[in-house]
Amino acid sequence: MSMTRRAALAAAALLGLTGAVSAQTTITIQHPLPVNSHYGAGATAFKETLERLTNNRIRVTIQRNDNEREVLESIQIGTVDAGITSTGPVGNFVPVSRNLDIPFLFRDRTHAHGVLDGAIGNELLAAFQPRGMIGVAWLENGFRHLTNNRREVRTPEEVQGLKVRTMENQVHMRAFQTLGALPTPMAFSELTTALQQGTVDGQENPIPVILGNNLNQVQRHLTLTGHVYSPAILVVSPAVWGRLSAADRAAVMEAGKAAAKANRDRVASDEATGVEELRRRGMTVITEVDRARFQAALAPAYAVYARELDGALIERIRAWRAN
Ligand code: EAX
């Protein structure tokens, strides 16, 4: 065997033993929305920051997968490295996150960011690891509003009888059931077809999602209920996390913070102009909504939440104030 070949084999063996010291790693991150969306903005910031902090030793590939439950399942088993999803299906994996999905729990975005970026949010991120995912950062989907094809909705009574697509989220389904609607849970990937075929009359989503997915093409009426604040979460697979050095883990956390900022900035800009744009695209928009009346109509659901969810945590969230 030639000297050169022997040297090459020795080098390969060394790399094999010590691990590829400076081998490049690629992390794939999936999310359910268009590239040019509030999740896309977060994913791009995550990519740019992580690649910069590791001098491109870690490269990030962004992919779309509009089935959030599937993304989370794949992250748990390690076939997908990272993801951004709303908390919609997360409660089926990390039950404590259901407390975040209660209608009218968060007063406004300042309240939501204060809770999620503080002690409560960190406690909830830590709850992901025992459930097979690494919670990296809280991002934002936004305040959810009701759309439908049957009528202008101004009161909770006018929700009665509507077949409303909900996420696969027991807390949301309970709320719409309490209002007398027919909650129909399905993944986001099935939504547009269900609306086109009339399988459901309506759905509920934040302005950035309605705008970014052109739901105005399959929905006539928008009511600014703001009935739920929808957090989003950036999670990483334990399979990836276990291979990262402490320094690279710190870089992932830093990149998560950058993702949250870019994502939230994009939500703010979408919400600033989105309602007018949806009106321009032909939707009727009901802006004057008596939210106290919706909250009162949800009283039976709140009684169930108090029994089934974490009352102390809910009170901590409600009591949060900016200092
Ligand atoms: O996370 O499924 C939904 O309605 C979500 O809001 C959407 O996938 C963005």
Query: pLDDT tens, 259-314?
Result: 999 999 999 999 999 999 999 999 999 999 999 999 999 999 999 999 999 999 99
CB distance 141 to ligand 1 below 6 Å: yes
pLDDT at 258 over 90: yes
Query: pLDDT tens, 106-162?
Result: 999 999 999 999 999 999 999 999 999 999 999 999 999 999 999 999 999 999 999
Choose the residue to mutate in 65, 70, 209 for probing ligand 1, maximizing ligand atoms within 8 Å of C-beta.
209
pTM, entire model: 0.92
Nearest CA to ligand 1 atom 1: 86
Q: Is 164 within 8 Å of 146 (Cβ atoms)?
A: yes
CB distance 188 to ligand 1 below 6 Å: yes
Query: pLDDT tens, 189-242?
Result: 999 999 999 999 999 999 999 999 999 999 999 999 999 999 999 999 999 999
State percent of the chain over pLDDT 90: 92
Q: Is 57 within 8 Å of 278 (Cβ atoms)?
A: no
Q: Write phi, then psi, for 19 (nearest 5 degrees).
A: 80, 160
CB distance 205 to ligand 1 below 6 Å: yes
Return the amino acid letter for 294. F
CA distance 113 to 121: 9
* Chain centroid to CA 251: 21
Q: How confident is the model at residue 21 (pLDDT cuts 50, 70, 90)?
A: very low
CA distance 208 to 214: 10
- The structural domains of the chain, ordered by start, are 24-318 (3.40.190.170)
Mean pLDDT of 91-101: 98
Angle ∠(230,137,111) on CA atoms, nearest 5: 50
CB distance 209 to ligand 1 below 6 Å: yes
Return the amino acid letter for 166. T
pLDDT at 20 over 60: no
User: What residues does 134 pair with on adjacent strands?
Assistant: 236
Residue 85, C-beta contacts closer than 8 angstroms, at least 6 positions apart: 31, 32, 68, 71, 72, 232, 233, 235
What three-state secondary structure class fits 126?
helix
CA distance 289 to 302: 20
Q: Is 221 within 8 Å of 151 (Cβ atoms)?
A: yes
**CA 202 to ligand 1 centroid distance, Å:** 14
pLDDT (0 to 100) of residue 118: 97
Here the tokens at position 176 are 């719409």
* Chain centroid to CA 143: 12
